[in-house]
Every structure is written in structure tokens, then in C-alpha cells.
Amino acid sequence: MTMATLSSAFLFIFSCFLACSISVSGRTATFLEDFRITWSDSHIKQIDGGRAIQLILDQNSGCGFASKRQYLFGRVSMKIKLIPGDSAGTVTAFYMNSDTDTVRDELDFEFLGNRTGQPYTVQTNIYAHGKGDREQRVNLWFDPAADFHTYTIMWNHHHIVFYVDEVPIRVYKNNEAKNIPYPKFQPMGVYSTLWEADDWATRGGREKIDWSKAPFLAYYKDFDIEGCPVPGPANCASNPRNWWGGTAYQALNAMEARRYRWVRMNHMIYDYCTDKSRYPVTPPECMAGI
């Protein structure tokens, strides 16, 4: 190989590296690097130099935070330790939202508190082109208040997957070919809130919040966003070199599929797809499988 050929090869490799490096935002960050407080800064405390935070809910207020930027496709994860003990009536939420009114896209984790000794329920929901009401609920198979666990939203052109640690609990496929809406046009920010919702959160609102147990505390750490920031390079969202769009992430692998079936068989307690009182005709996306 001639020196000219070597030089051309080097320039090609370097340009590919540069294109990849400028198209993707991704690193474990401290809280204030990537996030801002949106609600009640007196109820959010930084811990360990901003590498972790504490969210507080009391009778005066809940609280919330959001990413400084929006993203179009990628993976977002956080480690969360939920409220211990009697958490009935509380909701700890981690979600992505397009921050648009009539045509909202949103991907929700909502952790519904419970009476002491009862399992925590995680509710997921998906809004696509303004249409939501796609709730599923799973009882967690561990105590999420005893330690941190990783909660992840994977979003690419092929599907959306909600993970608890490395276990997929929800899959929503891109079935636009069947005229089923899929969120892909609007960037979304990353949000979290801790708030009172005892009119619906625990056993349909039958279990009310016990303010004698306040303050209610939840903890977050290891904030990780890997995605295409908006504003940012225009070609990022369609860049085939983005790892989350690669072949390995276009469908569940065999191990993930087994874990997904295990969750649905053993821990799912509600699925809008099978709720005939709400949907006498099964919604079309429910027929798509994984």
C-alpha cells in the first residue's frame, strides 16, 4: 500500500470517527451538568458532589427536574432507590416528554407506592402523536426501596423498550406500515417528579397517603443519556452508526425475550390490551407482538 493510499485511509477513518463523535451525546453526568430543577428546588438535595440527588415529598410540596436538552432517539437510564416503608399515594415518575400540548409524545415510568409490605407497582405508558391511554402495570419482583436499581428507556426507529435492570418489561414496536402511530418526529426531554396522587395511585385511590410518614424520600444517581441532542447535528437521528440503532438493538435477543415473557406471565397485573371494558375492540398495536 502506498503512502498516498495510507493517508487516504487514515483520513476516511478519522472522518468517520469525527462524524460519530459529534452526532451522539452520551456520558454519565453529574446532576447539574445535564439537568435543571423544574419544581420546588427546596425539595431536591444534591449528594456526593452532585453525582446523586434526593427528592422530597411533604405536605408542602413535591418536586421535579428535567434535562437541559431534548433528544431524538437513544437510551436514557437512571438508578433510582424508591420510597421505603409506607409509600401509598405517592408517585415517583421517570419519563421522556416532547413538551408539546396537542400532539404529545411521551414514554412513562411511574412507580406507584403501596402500603408497607405490599409490592411496588410500576406503570408504563406511551403517547404517540397525542394518543396515550396505553397503560401496563407490573409488580416489581424485588424491594426497590432497599437499594438502587437501573431503569432504562431504549428508543430507536424499530421499537421502544422499558427495562428494569436488564429485564425488558414493555415493548412497543414501530408498526407505522400498519398505520399505527410511532413517536419519531419530535425530540423529547428527560423528566422526573415525586408527587402526591392518592386519588388514583394505590389501589385506584382507595389507599390514601399517610402524611405522618412524611417526608417521603427517593434517591437518584448515575444519570446516563446517550442520544441525539436537539438542537444538534441534523443527520444524527438517521445516522446508521448510532449504536442504539444497530442490528443488536432492533429486536429483543433470545435472553431478553425469555425475560420479557417471564415478566408478563408472573408479574403483570394490568394490560390495557386485554381490558375489554375500555377497549371492546383490541387496539391494533396490541396485535403486533414483540
Q: Which residues are catalytic, by number?
A: 106, 110
- From 248, 190, 230, select the one nearest 35 (Cα to Cα): 190
Reading the block at residue 207, the C-alpha cell is 389507599
Report the run of H or E that residue 91 belongs to, with start and end: strand 90-97
The answer to whether the bond into 144 is cis (omega within 30° of 0) is: no
Q: How far is CA 24 from CA 75, 242, 244, in A?
A: 11, 7, 10
Q: Is 157 exposed, middle or buried (0-12, 13-18, 19+ CB in 10 A)?
A: middle
The Cα 213–Cα 58 span in angstroms is 9
Separation between Cα atoms, residue 155 and residue 235, nearest integer Å = 17
* Surface-to-core class of residue 223, CB atoms within 10 Å of its CB (0-12 exposed, 13-18 middle, 19+ buried): buried
Specify whether the CB–CB gap between 264 and 170 falls below 8 A: no
Nearest to 152, CA basis, from 83, 202, 222: 222
Q: Give Cα separations from 242 to 26, 134, 156, 247 (angstroms).
A: 11, 28, 10, 11
